Structure 1
Amino acid sequence: MDRRSLIKHAGIAGVLAAGVAPAVHAQAAIRWRLASSFPKSLDTIFGAAEVFSKAVKEMSGGKFEVSVHAAGELMPAFGVVDGVQNGTVEMAHTAPYYFFGKNEAFAIGGAIPFGMNSRQLTAWIVDGNGGKLMREFYAKYSIVNFLGGNTGAQMGGWFRKEIKSPADIKGLKFRIGGFAGKVIERMGGVPQNIPGGEIYQALEKGTIDAAEWIGPYDDQKLGFNKVAPFYYYPGWWEGSLNLEFYVNQKALNGLSAENKAIVQAAAYEAHVTTQARYDARNPGALKQLVAAKTKVLPFPQSVLDASFQASMDLYGDLEKSNPDWKKIYDDYRNFQRDEILWFRFAEGRFDSFMSSKKL
């Protein structure tokens, strides 16, 4: 009787007794490292990677674990793309626009001035052409991207002095995240790209005149209200900020289909959880900041108009000089036009009405 027939007729007990037990292939444990661009103190944005890690471990029954490392532990905050690309770590969690210096098209995957809000951007990536276009772009860096959270619309930052007109931007040393600095530069400002964990000290010492980070909850944690009295809105450079998980292409290819699906599902969970946390926690933090005498002010219309024009001029130049930008941005902007039309009829009108009522 051959081995297969023996197993069929004798059953497992008989096979074991016969000493011919079939080979058992135990699945090897998978251990990845994730480098974050954010400090541990920010439980919202850094926490997205922790949500991801926890979900991966639970869905895999503990067979797939991802250790999460804050900015500076394994590599600098702005070194994570190189780390993933060269395989130093299997993955990273970051804000794509930090890497506009490599190619301006990185910013489109995160946030560009006067870009889409969070729902619109997620729609473009998940159900529009955004996911396909960004995957094609990141492949040049041996990276596969996954959604990693969204902050929603951000505040316009903390200023030592009032901003009354576009002239007040001239000469302003402004810590502003990534790509938006190119617009501030066109307006005469001096952009500074400083990691989140280093902003307070720079603002306190007067190394910079103003700084933006995200919104009330995170900004309060970082203590910006203690060193700058004026808090402006909106952050026109970030109608939303899409965060991403970057995974090394070779590492992802080495996973089973099941584990690839786990990575995708865990990324979605982190994406939804992160925005929910910001939406839930920002209102209370804003109330506390106002109670602490923070002066919350809207940017003047003249500043918004000048910023918009500078942004459109920049995009026009990039369409001529950067083929990657043109390919992705053309689709992005067409999608945004339709989204704005739809939101004007439904979401926009509803939100405008509700904000006029006292509940």
Structure 2
Amino acid sequence: MDRRQLLTGGAIAAVGTTLAAPAIAQSQPEVTWRLASSYPTSLDTIFGASKDLAEIVETITEGKFKIQVYSAGELVPPLQVMDAVGDNTVEMGQSAAYFYTGKDSAFAFGTAMPWMGNARQYNAWIYRGGGQELFNEFLEPYGVYHLPGGNTGTQMAGWYRKEIKSLADLKGLKMRIGGLGGAVLARLGVVPQQLAAGDIYPSLERGVIDAAEFVGPYDDEKLGFVKVAPYYYYPGFWEGQAELSFFINKGQWEGLPESYRTALATATRVAAANQLTKYDAGNAAALKRLIAAGAQLRPFPQDIIEAGYKETMAMYAEMSAANPKFKTLYDSLSAFLAESDTFLSISDFYFDYSRYIARQKGWDKA
């Protein structure tokens, strides 16, 4: 995509930013950073957000601030990106915060919390509800600064080598799943596995794992899961939305000129908007192709949905009692969603449901 195109067509206006492109003074320093991604180049939505960011920053700063982007494994292992940023091996990284819940369960708030809101609600909390400030306070001991990196929207529940007919079929199932979704499914009998994107297909193919969730049709098609696990379930209740993260070494962030920090923050918002629209534009057509290729689309049985919700709420209560950092973030997001749900349930939800009913009943043909 042309650099200027990234900054036109209302992209910046859509994310509420007003920085003009040629606003960087001639005296500003030349800066070159390296960005390590947790994702392969084949995922043009997620990895593409890093490319978009680098191009936008370079355009805004008139070539003085360059970010060199590296795909998964080129500089550091994909599940160690945030650590590499924290120790300044690289200045910046693109990853999913919930990859690091082994350090602290509160990392999940940077990506996805089971049953807690959709993309619009999460973005509203992060940008307008204090979520970004709280998450960066949590990250201080790790030496990184966080900027939201783009949402996937509601995800699918993944690919399964065998049909799932009831809650009992989850017992002993080895599944690739990240973040607190794995903790919830473990309470339902699943054996969660955390794998980088490039390791999922061969693990499914060899039977090392029985199931895997990643994102949704657009990315899942590229990763080829339909060839080795034909049953495609929904919804991914553990990821009603999923936000990717741009992690920046805190010292490097604080050492940037103010105009460069503004350029970087602006670029992350535009890249994030680009990512979500790519998913919204591409998922439907990809789903049709997957079904034509043999995907067996299935809703999760009701007993799984019910048990998943109950176990999630029980887990949140336990984690809040055991971890004050988790409780601070959980209380903030929960309170925000309680307000947000009140409105969305009478606006978006009923509107979407009414459109669905209209199509099903063929009111336009009556």
1:3 — aligned with what? none
- In structure 2, C-alpha distance between the alignment counterparts of 1:115 and 1:76, rounded to whole Å: 30
- In structure 2, C-alpha distance between the alignment counterparts of 1:328 and 1:292, rounded to whole Å: 42
SS in 2 for 1:356: helix
1:287 — aligned with what? 288
Give yes or no for contact 2:157–2:237 (8 Å, CA) kept in 1: yes
Q: Which runs of 5+ in 1 are unaligned?
A: 1-23
- In structure 2, C-alpha distance between the alignment counterparts of 1:124 and 1:193, rounded to whole Å: 27
Give yes or no for contact 1:32–1:90 (8 Å, CA) kept in 2: yes
Aligned ranges 1:270-281 → 2 under 5 Å: 270-281=271-282
SS in 1 for 2:93: strand
Give yes or no for contact 2:93–2:246 (8 Å, CA) kept in 1: yes
Quick check: 1:164 aligned with 2:165? Answer: yes
Residue 293 of structure 1: how far off its partner (Å): 2.6
* 1:292 counterpart letter in structure 2: A
* 1:181 counterpart letter in structure 2: G
Give yes or no for contact 2:34–2:91 (8 Å, CA) kept in 1: yes
* 1:207 counterpart letter in structure 2: V
1:221 — aligned with what? 222
- In structure 2, C-alpha distance between the alignment counterparts of 1:307 and 1:166, rounded to whole Å: 10
- In structure 2, C-alpha distance between the alignment counterparts of 1:300 and 1:349, rounded to whole Å: 24
Residue 93 of structure 1: how far off its partner (Å): 0.7
Structure 1 runs, 4 residues or longer, greater than 4 Å off? none
Quick check: 1:307 aligned with 2:308? Answer: yes
Residue 26 of structure 1: how far off its partner (Å): 4.8
1:192 — aligned with what? 193
Give yes or no for contact 2:86–2:249 (8 Å, CA) kept in 1: yes
Give yes or no for contact 1:175–1:211 (8 Å, CA) kept in 2: yes
- In structure 1, C-alpha distance between the alignment counterparts of 2:313 and 2:180, rounded to whole Å: 13
Q: Which runs of 5+ in 2 are unaligned?
A: 1-24
Return the TM-score normalized by structure 2: 0.90
Aligned ranges 1:1-40 → 2 under 5 Å: 26-40=27-41
Residue 125 of structure 1: how far off its partner (Å): 0.6
Give yes or no for contact 1:150–1:274 (8 Å, CA) kept in 2: yes
Give yes or no for contact 2:112–2:179 (8 Å, CA) kept in 1: no
Quick check: 1:261 aligned with 2:262? Answer: yes
Residue 357 of structure 1: how far off its partner (Å): 2.8
Structure 1 residues 165 and 32: alpha-carbon distance in aligned structure 2, compared to 1, 3 A threshold: same
* 1:38 counterpart letter in structure 2: Y
Quick check: 1:243 aligned with 2:249? Answer: no
Residue 299 of structure 1: how far off its partner (Å): 0.5
- In structure 2, C-alpha distance between the alignment counterparts of 1:337 and 1:160, rounded to whole Å: 37
The count of aligned residue pairs is 336
- In structure 1, C-alpha distance between the alignment counterparts of 2:29 and 2:236, rounded to whole Å: 47
Give yes or no for contact 1:151–1:214 (8 Å, CA) kept in 2: yes
* 1:116 counterpart letter in structure 2: G
Structure 1 residues 139 and 354: alpha-carbon distance in aligned structure 2, compared to 1, 3 A threshold: same
SS in 1 for 2:345: helix
Give yes or no for contact 1:98–1:179 (8 Å, CA) kept in 2: no
* Identity level (%): 45
Return the TM-score normalized by structure 1: 0.92
* 1:166 counterpart letter in structure 2: L
Quick check: 1:83 aligned with 2:81? Answer: no
- In structure 1, C-alpha distance between the alignment counterparts of 2:231 and 2:28, rounded to whole Å: 56
* 1:278 counterpart letter in structure 2: Y
Give yes or no for contact 2:93–2:247 (8 Å, CA) kept in 1: yes
Quick check: 1:342 aligned with 2:319? Answer: no
1:45 — aligned with what? 46
